[in-house]
Amino acid sequence: MKKTGLKELFEIFITFFKIGAFTLGGGYAMLPLIEKEVVENKKWATQEEIIDIFAIAQSVPGVVAVNTSIFVGYKRAKLKGGIAAVLGAVLPSFLIILAIYQLLFSLSNNIYVIKAFAGVRAGVTALILVTAIKLIKNTIKDVFSAVIAVIAFFLILLFDNDILIILAGVILGIIKHLVSNVKVIRKVNRS
């Protein structure tokens, strides 16, 4: 097992610190930046791996961006990498909130501040939509996965229980795999 150096831990920390510092809008707004840094720039994960990390991060308790940073950091440098990544991801928010709390509180009724945040929310919505489109393109590869995605979408709207719906998707995926294997075995036996 390779030993993780301080330089690598610092790189993980700085990467997630930049993501945390330049993302407005919360956890989901960080996902496009995490994907760009981790997959495209750093090549720490493939597109398929980051989709799996996003899915797992969404299905466990906690903030999705924090969970994602932990998974990526752990993948890169085990426990120390996970700690470096999560500290990098949350420290900017903590410092910014600490620094501007009084300012925002005193300006909370200012029309310009209200309008500025309305614009920020609209921009963040666009970022989340782009990420969703990328995930759809890389995840839905057949009719089965498209049907599962549509059903899951409506079930989430109706029941607001992500974990049970994700678990149902896992079970259906395993069943599909087992059924496919049985069909292949039968086909081979007939030959």
Model confidence band, residue 4 (pLDDT cutoffs 50, 70, 90): low
Average predicted confidence (pLDDT) for the chain: 86
Q: What is the largest CA-CA distance in the chain?
A: 78
Q: What Cα–Cα distance (Å) separates residue 71 from each residue in 10, 145, 168?
A: 16, 25, 23
pLDDT in tens, 24-43: 666 677 888 889 999 999 99
pLDDT score of 59 more than 60: yes
| Chain mean position to CA 53 | 7
pLDDT in tens, 108-147: 788 888 888 888 888 888 888 888 888 888 888 888 888 8
- What SS3 string covers the chain? CCCCCHHHHHHHHHHHHHHHHCCCCCHHHHHHHHHHHHHHHCCCCCHHHHHHHHHHHHHCCCCHHHHHHHHHHHHHHHHHHHHHHHHHHHHHHHHHHHHHHHHHHHHCCCHHHHHHHHHHHHHHHHHHHHHHHHHHHHHCCCHHHHHHHHHHHHHHHHHCCHHHHHHHHHHHHHHHHHHHHHHHHHHHHHC
Mean pLDDT of all residues in 53-64:
86
Q: Where is mean pLDDT largest: 67-71, 101-105, 181-185? A: 67-71
Helix axes 64-107, 6-21, angle to 10 degrees: 50
pLDDT in tens, 141-190: 888 888 888 888 888 888 877 788 888 888 888 888 888 888 778 777 77
| Chain mean position to CA 25 | 14
More confident residue, 100 or 89: 89
How many angstroms separate the CA atoms of 76 and 121, rounded? 32
